[in-house]
Amino acid sequence: LNKGGFNPAPDTDYGRESNLVKARQALTIVNNQLGKTYLPLINGEYVETDEYIHSVNPSTPSQIVGKIGLISLSQADQAMETAKEAFKTWSKTSATQRAEILRRAADIMEQKRHELTAWMCFEVGKILKEGDPEVSEAIDFCRYYASEMERLEQGYNYDVAGENDRYFYQPKGIALIISPWNFPFAIATGMTVAALVAGNCALLKPAATSTVIGAKIAEILTEAGIPKGVFQYIPGKGSVVGDYLVKHPDIHLIAFTGSREVGCKIYADAAILQPKQKHLKKVIAEMGGKNAIIIDESADLDQGVAGVVQSAFGFSGQKCSACSRVIVLNTVYDAFVERLTEAVKSLNVGDAKNPSTKIGPVIDASAQARILQYIEKGKEQGTLAIQVEAPEQGYFVPPTVFTDVTEDAVIAQEEIFGPVLAVIKANSFDHALAIANGTDYALTGGLYSRTPAHIDRAYKEFEVGNLYINRGITGAIVARQPFGGFKLSGVGSKAGGPDYLLQFLEPRVVTENI
């Protein structure tokens, strides 16, 4: 139990044979269900669509994970109308009633844990050990936001003699949730249930490459008892349906997680007052990172290497929190690089469902091409220190480390979102901090050091939303490491933290003269 009294769901211990058996059974069950059709959920009904896309397995792109119906703009309007109708009653239900639905959803996720992990393995190429904690995170979001809403519903009482002063919260209205594919279950669930438990109606538009997992969220929320129209699952093209709904006059709130390019566009579009719009839209935008780990001369290098390798290459570097720069003090640079390249050599790249695979594929062909271009750029701008073998079939990218990279090189500045690590040499700790802070982003960062003065300076000067000292920089846990960045990494309060739900609420004060 942490200090806040919140008890996170434990991940599966794959060291136990019984868990491995369950995980393998789940892979078989999911394998037998591949290729089914998933339809949008509008006003409690699964509706037919004119357009369909295929979601494929990035380890084996010929394998269709699901066929997904994409909504049209008139279906988007329908979803909006029914959400507005449902809001009339949902906004008046008690926080306890809403919280109960989230708790039931969490229990269902717990029961379906292995299957959900298997779906992520097939649809986005996550190895089981990376997918399972994502199920835990989604469960934690449900349970944590449920209790957070019950706390907030108390409001504040500022009464004085002769006057009642009550401070309380009401929901904002209709929330549009636009989620990314890289944490297809946890992030989409977290943003959605936060909106719902606060009394808003939510429209979930998942990323195209993870729409089947989006459909699983819809199934779970329906089973948990969410009333029709309150939650709607609306797969559709981001640039068409997403764009249309962002600009819709009846949207009150947009919770977005994804790239900087799309996030900045949504932020700007949402700021424009549309005809008949009677409010300003709230935008929560969680965007990218160019995260660095500093290794100083006092660091435990073995610990540092292990932390860097896991942070840089876990889920093929496709985490917003991933380490893509390691900044090493010159006195330990050679020793660190030697151990790092040794460790990277042992990364086994392959099909995400194989038990021996450490690094699976990247999400799709365009991501693969983009990352390979960055690798070519890296060869011009740094020294190729090591590149691991990767299978030819499937969307695989070989884990790659460049050394002698300058701090202003393209691969040291732009978010690559793949298994590519730039090693940068620093002359002093001051220099290391300056390099670390020298990008547009401020999401995660790390320091390996046994020097208290350095740790103290990192606390104060390392410009990131989440700083990790002497450990890896990925895998934030709800209510323990509330997560989110600033600068061009995003705008909004930390997910899984005590301020998060406030963004989904409208505070009000009523003063009564008595």
Q: Is 40 in the site for ligand NAD (CB under 6 A)?
A: no
For residues 299 and 378, give the distance between their C-alpha atoms in angstroms, rounded to a whole number.
27
Q: Is 259 in the site for ligand NAD (CB under 6 A)?
A: yes
Choose, by CB under 6 A, the member of 265, 279, 370, 487 that binds ligand NAD. 265
For residues 249 and 173, give the distance between their C-alpha atoms in angstroms, rounded to a whole number.
12
- Smallest distance from ligand NAD to CB 4, Å: 21
Q: Give, as ranges, the residues between 346 and 365 that touch ligand NAD (CB under 6 A).
A: none
Q: How many CB atoms lie under 10 A from the CB of residue 424?
A: 25
How many Å separate Cα 385 from the centre of its chain?
Answer: 30
Q: Is 258 in the site for ligand NAD (CB under 6 A)?
A: yes
In sequence order, the β-bridge partners of residue 164 are 512
Max Cα–Cα distance, the chain, nearest Å? 77
Q: Is 266 in the site for ligand NAD (CB under 6 A)?
A: yes
- Smallest distance from ligand NAD to CB 52, Å: 16
Q: What mask of x and - would describe binding to ligand NAD in positions 283 to 312, judged by CB under 6 A?
A: ---xxxx-----------------------
User: Which residues carry out catalysis?
Assistant: 286, 320
Size of the site for ligand NAD (CB under 6 A): 34
Q: Give, as ranges, the residues between 181 and 200 that touch ligand NAD (CB under 6 A).
A: 181-183, 187
For residues 109 and 106, give the distance between their C-alpha atoms in angstroms, rounded to a whole number.
5
Choose, by CB under 6 A, the member of 12, 78, 147, 257 that binds ligand NAD. 257
Phi, psi of 67 (to 5 degrees): -110, 125
Identify which of residues 199 and 288 has a Cβ nearer to ligand NAD in the complex.
Answer: 288
- Smallest distance from ligand NAD to CB 287, Å: 6
Angle at 371 between CA 370 and CA 374, to 5 degrees: 95
Identify which of residues 180 and 475 has a Cβ nearer to ligand NAD in the complex.
Answer: 180
For residues 494 and 284, give the distance between their C-alpha atoms in angstroms, rounded to a whole number.
10
Tokens of 60: 């084996």
Identify which of residues 144 and 417 has a Cβ nearer to ligand NAD in the complex.
Answer: 417
Residues in the chain: 514
Q: Is 178 in the site for ligand NAD (CB under 6 A)?
A: yes
- Smallest distance from ligand NAD to CB 319, Å: 7
Tokens of 392: 């030819």
* Strands 45-46 and 41-42, bridge-based pairing: antiparallel
- Smallest distance from ligand NAD to CB 451, Å: 30
Q: Is 207 in the site for ligand NAD (CB under 6 A)?
A: yes
Angle at 149 between CA 144 and CA 152, to 5 degrees: 125
Q: Which residue has the tokens 């998933």?
A: 38
Phi, psi of 23 (to 5 degrees): -65, -40
Q: Is 204 helix (H, G, I), strand (E, B) or coil?
A: strand
Q: Is 238 in the site for ligand NAD (CB under 6 A)?
A: yes
Q: Is 26 helix (H, G, I), strand (E, B) or coil?
A: helix
Amino acid at 384: L
- Smallest distance from ligand NAD to CB 195, Å: 15
Q: Give, as ranges, the residues between 442 and 481 that touch ligand NAD (CB under 6 A).
A: 443
Sign of the Cα torsion 93, 97, 98, 101 reads: negative
Identify which of residues 182 and 400 has a Cβ nearer to ligand NAD in the complex.
Answer: 182
Choose, by CB under 6 A, the member of 193, 320, 375, 479 that binds ligand NAD. 320
Beta strand extents in 4-149 (DSSP E only): 36-38, 41-42, 45-46, 51-57, 60-70
Q: Is 494 in the site for ligand NAD (CB under 6 A)?
A: no
Identify which of residues 204 and 340 has a Cβ nearer to ligand NAD in the complex.
Answer: 204
Q: What is the DSSP string of 216-232?
A: HHHHHHHHTTPPBTTEE
Identify which of residues 325 and 425 has a Cβ nearer to ligand NAD in the complex.
Answer: 325
Query: Which segment (3-11, 98-106, 376-384, 482-490) binds ligand NAD by CB under 6 A?
Result: 482-490
Q: Give, as ranges, the residues between 409 and 448 that touch ligand NAD (CB under 6 A).
A: 415, 417, 443
The residues that touch ligand NAD, with contacts defined as CB under 6 A, are: 178-183, 187, 205-208, 238-239, 242-243, 246, 257-259, 262, 265-266, 286-289, 320, 415, 417, 443, 484-485, 489-490
